[in-house]
Amino acid sequence: MSTPTDFASLPLPAALLTNLADLGYSSMTAIQAQSLPVILKGMDVIAQAKTGSGKTAAFGIGLLSPLNPRYFGCQALVLCPMVRKWARWSMACILLWVRQGVF
């Protein structure tokens, strides 16, 4: 049985749930629990939280969920203001995408 802070309580693809579990994501942080249901409905979110609170994962999971790895056209665009943020974002996405067949 899933609780409201379990990733399994969200409408995520099975491959993404498996990958999250393998990466050690057992339950959502506060920012993820508040933002992911809204993001997954396709709505815009503006959020603020401390460093290390899970903002990047929330954004990445919401972005990855609807992607079709068999379609090679542009499905999402991420703008990062600094190279350091881009590097962190790209590594997080690579780790989350691996089992979804994107890489």
Burial label, 58 (beta-carbon count in 10 A; 0-12, 13-18, 19+): buried
Q: What share of the chain is helix, strand, coil (3-state, %, to 5)?
A: 50, 0, 50
Tens digits of residue pLDDT in 45-80: 999 999 889 888 898 888 888 888 788 898 887 777
First and final C-alpha spacing in the chain: 31
List Cβ neighbours of 97 (8 Å cut-off, separation of 6 or more).
Answer: 64, 103
Query: Fold for domain 7-100?
Result: Rossmann fold (3.40.50)
Tens digits of residue pLDDT in 1-49: 456 789 999 998 888 888 888 888 889 999 999 999 999 999 999 999 9
